[in-house]
Structure 1
């Protein structure tokens, strides 16, 4: 029978060899500082836009890690509404999307970075507004009352990758974790994010949603480290890219000793990549801003503005007259006039020679 780190005598007295990652930690801190400096130069409006784009990715990716594919337009609408940003997109709402959005915004967008039992319960309730995970009824806004195993494989061929602490231990386990998280320790803030993620996911205190809440706690600590209540890089996006190695390093660490050096190295490498890739979002926001500075005066109506924004954000498929008409709730004739106007002004171009497959793209490819 496997022995897990939470069963070891000195749990949770983690330790690590800082010499093995001191250069990597220094590099990540340097990249973090450069990104925060770059963000400051964006100006108020563009910072809001970059923050919005990063939060959208965070919400989409943290859900995708758990096998849930959310509608990007609903996520964009929900976040923009809660941040008080203008958005002329989908008006309908989705309780499940709104729940994960509320969790992420509460974790990262305000000055209150204190973790409490009540706050964790409210996050959990937001994730599961119906009291169910899929078809299964679960305990919501409370620690689980049953055993918790991470299992893979079909029936009769199950492989137990991990078994969490018993339910009877959860109150004391979480009290200790929350006290540690809120206390000032002699630990670098990025290392604290790594430890917090591992510690919470090891306790696994809820029936479901532990991964998403662990990543929210991580983002909350990272925003403390950044020193701002806006996000310009998405750790969840990078974890999703490295999902296989993420689960592998977690399993190895949870079955190992309290020396978590290897986990910290994995975490810092993942964080480094997420900061490096943040330039994609920032550059996209700046490019979009330049597009509107150049073309705003050429736009004839709100329909054109709406579709052009969608082309630059997260457009699904190819843009043709029928899709334009459907998205703007207008006739095909009106759609064709709108498109032709933009083609004549050099904003849109035909993507191919014509026929039934005729569609249009931005002239300055985005």
Structure 2
């Protein structure tokens, strides 16, 4: 779906960009997070280039968010979150540009998007820490290459249920070998049989 913006005429672009740059560089009593939201919207509406306006707007947002964090290191990415939600992003921009200067809806969406970016990063960091703690706990546990491969897949977020047949397919071994690998991990307290039961047996990691 192509989104059409009502960009200023070619004659208006330079004076509009001059206003934007003056405002951007001016020290004003405005939280950098809010400034990043306003700057993003303003730049998109000016639409000074034929292509790449979205990428530049996201870069402007990231710059102001870095100033807000007062750190050269950032562990979250608003740009990635916007790309993930780009359909709603474009729809919100298109609606708000016709609201005669009222950008409240955009600010609410932007701040919620930033919140989701932070929450997703928190999940990623927790997953990385959990994986590091797991391997530190089992650094002296004797494991074969197949077991290490499958444990890493489970720690990274295995899709679907872990069955003997899946283990055999992924590690390219027989089902008998897969079952021996799994039973060995159960004896070592690393895997357990899922309680859900059913017609087939599924396995899961034992929580650290």
Name the TM-score, length of structure 1 as normaliser: 0.44
1:150 aligns with 2:3: yes
Paired residues of 2:76 and 2:117 also in contact (CA < 8 A): no
Shift of 1:360: 1.7
1:185 aligns with 2:62: no
Paired residues of 1:194 and 1:267 also in contact (CA < 8 A): yes
Separation in structure 2 between the aligned mates of residue 306 and residue 191 of structure 1, nearest angstrom: 45
Deviations for 1:146-200, whole angstroms, at most 9, x for unmatched residues? Answer: xxx626xxxxxxxxxx33345x569848965895697353243212211232123
Aligned to 2:75: 231
* CA radius of gyration, larger in: 2
Separation in structure 2 between the aligned mates of residue 277 and residue 350 of structure 1, nearest angstrom: 29
Counterpart mapping for 1:25-40 below 5 A: none
Shift of 1:307: 2.0
Paired residues of 2:37 and 2:110 also in contact (CA < 8 A): yes
Aligned to 2:143: 300
What SS does structure 1 have at the residue aligned with 2:192?
strand
Aligned to 1:250: 93
What SS does structure 2 have at the residue aligned with 1:256?
coil
Cα RMSD of the aligned pairs, angstroms, is 3.9
Separation in structure 1 between the aligned mates of residue 183 and residue 112 of structure 2, nearest angstrom: 48
Runs of 5+ consecutive residues of structure 1 not aligned to the other structure: 1-65, 67-148, 152-161
Paired residues of 2:36 and 2:65 also in contact (CA < 8 A): yes
Paired residues of 1:348 and 1:363 also in contact (CA < 8 A): yes
Among candidates 170, 180, 193, match of residue 337 of structure 1: 180
Which has the bigger relative contact order, CA under 8 A and spacing at least 6?
Answer: 1
Change in 2 beyond 3 A, CA 1:256/1:320: same
Shift of 1:206: 4.3
Shift of 1:277: 5.6
Change in 2 beyond 3 A, CA 1:350/1:263: same
Paired residues of 1:190 and 1:225 also in contact (CA < 8 A): yes
Aligned residues: 204
Change in 2 beyond 3 A, CA 1:171/1:262: closer
1:215 aligns with 2:58: yes
Shift of 1:362: 0.8
Aligned to 2:190: 347
Separation in structure 2 between the aligned mates of residue 230 and residue 303 of structure 1, nearest angstrom: 35
1:327 aligns with 2:170: yes
Shift of 1:251: 2.6
Counterpart mapping for 1:76-225 below 5 A: 150=3, 162-165=5-8, 168=10, 172=14, 176=18, 179=21, 183=25, 185-186=27-28, 187-204=30-47, 205-207=49-51, 210-211=53-54, 214-225=57-68
